[in-house]
Structure 1
Amino acid sequence: MNKADLLHRIIEALEHDMLLLQRAAQTAYEAATAQENIAENKYDTLGLEASYLATGQARRAAEIRQALLAYQQLVSRDYDPARGIQISNLVTLEDQQGHPRQLFLGPEAAGLKIGEGDRQITVITPRSPLGQVLLGKRVDDEVSLVLAGVTQLQVVIAAQ
């Protein structure tokens, strides 16, 4: 998958997620404000719970809206060996067992997975530990990350 296709699929996934969350937030809001959910005593909390749910879903929809805007405005840059890995670079890492994995260093939407199986690409951001370590690295550089007391070594085998 090339970067243009990847960016298109990230935007599509974010648009889809935003629509789902907007619908869910609207449903929760309607439940929170429905006449039949007005509390009759202090133990009747259905309306309050629906209100909390609607608020959380609205916040998440706002986060996705922000991520979507960031991707719509993202200027995709090719990998430049002089600058090293930067935002908008697609990176392939290989672990010590020889297993490759592809990562896209994006401005938002960390954890989003695009594709399936061996062709799956995971979005990370510079705010993540791995994203911080990758910034400025070049092809053939080693990347070391300590997670849960275990050091993971990987090598940057490709970047675009």
Structure 2
Amino acid sequence: MVKIRHATLADVTAIHLLAEKIWWPTYTTILEKEQIRFMLDLFYAKEKLRKQISSGGQSFLLLLENELPVAFAAFAANQENQEIMILEKIYCLPQAQGKGYGKELLEFVVTQARIAGKSILQLYVHRENKARNFYEKMNFKVVKEVDRPLGKYLLTDFVMQKEL
């Protein structure tokens, strides 16, 4: 049985562990190990997750398969454009991929964005990340390429958008 629910502070450890298990196989072929560790520490250290969840700036979701967390997502309103909701994170354990969980999480976020009155869902994806194919199947379109500094690293992303 699959269930999606809003994550709380009680879920910080689960999200932290999911990120550790997902990021290495996802990014090892496209990012340096040092950059993966830097980004995991920056975004998924337990204290950072606590801040993200408690501030209310991002809404986190957990997808449970038989009551076990196997995927998560996070989304937030765009502060510069009231029409846009940003999909900040969406990740599934490697063994949970291909089961439609990413699509279910994405559809949940789309519903939340529509309820909030948004007309566009936007995300950033590394230009070499194979997840781009998933997003294109979900009707996202590349609208631009961006290079964003993060610490000593440069994030080379596509900005993708989906009309709601």
TM-score range, shorter chain: 0.3 to 0.5
More strand by share: 2
More helix by share: 1
Larger radius of gyration: 1
